[in-house]
A = this chain, B = another copy of it.
Amino acid sequence: MNVQSSHGHSHNKGAQSLRLTKGAKKVLEVLERTDELSSAQDIHSALRNEEDSPPGLTTVYRSLESLVQLGLVQSVDFGDGERRYEMVKPGEHHHHLVCEKCRNSVHLDQCLVQQLEESIQAKYKFEVRGHILEIFGLCEQCQQAMAPAGKK
């Protein structure tokens, strides 16, 4: 990882700047102390409530893009049309078990796809570069809350 502050020298020529700009730092701070997944809007409102001159929504989006490219943040797609973000250990990623009832999520401690990359490669001659994986269902509490009362 080669993360540098906006004040450092950078010779990256990637699709976009790989520096931590002022806005990106603020976004990262929000994500740092949140363990829930946050949408861009969530982050934006959080900043609105605590900053004197909060970054605009556009900047939040751009910052998230940079942070994702830096490998500090991952974007998660639950298929509901709203992307969420969360901090990850640099360069790592993980997937979630999302409760359809209470909407809480826990993350898997290992990636099911990574384990299978080799066999996919061997079987399909396909070079794995990325993947989406999210699992939906009922968490333990919601299963119990549901059992006695009946369905729904």
Contact = CB atoms under 8 A, between A and B. Distances in A.
B120 A116 contact: no
A139 to B, nearest CB: 6
Interface stretch (A21-29, A31-39, A41-49, A127-135): A127-135
A143 B106 CA distance: 35
B136 A131 contact: yes
A106 B125 CA distance: 11
Interface of A: 77-79, 81, 97, 99-100, 106, 112-113, 116, 120, 124-140, 143
Contacts of A79: 77, 132
Given A127-B137, A130-B135, 8 more contacts: A112-B113, A113-B133, A125-B139, A126-B140, A128-B137, A129-B137, A131-B136, A132-B132
Contacts of A77: 77, 79, 132
Contacts of A139: 125-126
A138 B126 contact: yes
A19 to B, nearest CB: 24
A134 B136 contact: no
A131 B79 CA distance: 10
B126 A113 contact: no
Nearest to A144: B125
Contact of A135 (B120, B125, B134, B140): B120
